[in-house]
Amino acid sequence: MNDAPPLLSVEGFGLEFRTRSGTVHALDGVDLAVRKGETVGLVGESGSGKSVLSFALLGISDRAARVTGGRAAFGGLELTRASEADLEAVRGREIAMIFQNPRTALNPIRRVGAQIEDVLRRHTTARAAELRERAIAALREVNIPDPERRHAAYPFELSGGMCQRVMIALALACRPALLIADEPTTGLDVTTQAAIMDLIAARARATGMATLFITHDLALAAEHCDRIVVMHAGHVVEAAPTAALFAGPRHPYTAQLIRATPAAESTIDALAAIPGNLPDLRRADLPACRFRARCARASARCDAPLPRLAPPPAHAVACWHPLDEARCA
Ligand SMILES: Nc1ncnc2c1ncn2[C@@H]1O[C@H](COP(=O)(O)OP(=O)(O)OP(=O)(O)O)[C@@H](O)[C@H]1O
Ligand SMILES: [Mg+2]
């Protein structure tokens, strides 16, 4: 096991949004760690806080956002307290992100090669001819055919799959130490999906890049992640090595997710099988356990603050009535 401190370490992190219709308690007490070379899956229903967390880590939250507690550190940098200049130096260079919607993340009126060069120019000392060469190499690395020609293409001239590859080329161009990939393959056909996941995995193997892989797709997470972190309504409810999580989920929510995902292609939101909805995160009286109203195991004990998650690599669960530990894990 790797004893080095995690590359990314989030502890007790909380964040809320002040909106006209009330305060949205989007994240509360979130713990998360990603080590060098590790791929960690972040899974949970729509609205559970996966994207909000990733934006907060990069310091690019909505203006209405306010950090309510905890810390997030990347290497020696306290992300929650860093200056805009420090964050600017890290973003795109050491921490890269693939956004949930590639078409909105790419600039529609700038050629894709120029967009990659912009990132390289910001973070390296490379000059014009070398920038072009490196941008073409970055496109080639993500298996874009005819990269010299595609360098001059606008996003609208490329298919969804190609745009997604450009996004990945953009993210990987500076050889980041950490990649945050938010639904990098959603909406793509299965073959393209597999090719893109393989690309990311190959880069991780080659450079020791750490990956935080955000997805609705439990089967995809099972296939590609070393560990999985399960979120529900702004809480991390369970975190475990992938095999242990699937062999013996301990949180009732995780157990339901896994039980309800029988087919490889099912995604969490396609499931009607999990009763109830996420609680309204604007409620001032959110229960200590936000799964309580949906949980068959709930009791008066669940009114107490949730037990703190054990640090990785332990199989950690934030529940007063967890299911038995797997015997076969
Ligand atoms: N700018 C904002 N202002 C107010 N509330 C917000 C804002 N951004 C996100 N939220 C709320 O925070 C919660 C978490 O949203 P988030 O987008 O992180 O979910 P998610 O897990 O990424 O979902 P999905 O799987 O659909 O991408 C939701 O309740 C959402 O409505
Ligand atoms: Mg999201």
Hunting for tokens 């934030």 — which residue is that?
A: 318
pLDDT tens readout for residues 19-32 = 999 999 999 999 99
How far away, in angstroms, is 120 Cα from ligand 1 center?
A: 31
- DSSP 8-state assignment for residue 5: P
- Ligand 2 centroid–CA 264 distance in Å is 21
| Mutate which of 21, 23, 24 for ligand 1 pocket (most atoms within 8 A of beta carbon) | 24
268 Cα–ligand 2 center, Å: 13
Mutation probe of ligand 1 site: the residue of 23, 52, 214 with most atoms within 8 A of C-beta: 52
* Mean pLDDT of the region 152-157: 95
* Closest listed ligand to the CA of 43: 1
Number of Cβ within 10 Å of residue 264's Cβ equals: 12
The band of 328, judged by pLDDT with boundaries at 50, 70 and 90, is very low
User: What's the pLDDT at 75?
Assistant: 93
Segment among 135-139, 189-193, 238-242, 271-275 with least mean pLDDT: 271-275
b/e code 78-97 from CB counts within 10 Å (16+ = b) = ebbebeeeebeebbbbbbbb
pLDDT of 329 strictly over 70:
no
Q: What is the pLDDT of residue 217?
A: 86
Share of the chain above pLDDT 90, in %: 71
Structure tokens at 23: 């305060």
Residues flanking ligand 1, CB < 6 Å: 17, 19, 24, 26, 44, 46-52, 62, 64, 100, 216, 281
Atom 9 (ligand 1) nearest CA: 52
- Which residue minimizes the CA distance to atom 26 of ligand 1? 46
Q: In the predicted model, what is the mean pLDDT of the chain?
A: 90
Q: Considering only CA atoms, give the Rg of the chain.
A: 20
**Residue-range domains of the chain with CATH:** 1-37+44-89+178-191+227-329 (3.40.50.300)
> DSSP letter at 94?
T
Q: Which ligand has the nearest atom to the CA of 290?
A: 1
Nearest atom of ligand 1 to the alpha carbon of 47 = 19
d(CA 138, ligand 1 centre) in Å: 32
Q: Distance, CA 126 to ligand 2 centroid (Å)?
A: 34
Residue 11, pLDDT score: 96
Six token digits for residue 241 = 């090595």
Closest ligand to C-alpha of residue 268 is: 1
pLDDT digits (tens, 9 = 90+) for 163-188: 989 999 999 998 999 999 999 987 77
- Surrounding residues of ion ligand 2, Cβ less than 5 A: 50-51
Looking at the DSSP assignment, which residues form a beta bridge with residue 8? Answer: 34, 74
Name residue 270's beta-bridge partners.
none
Residue with token string 């990733």 = 54
Collapsing DSSP states into helix, strand and coil, what is residue 309? coil
More confident residue, 168 or 236: 236
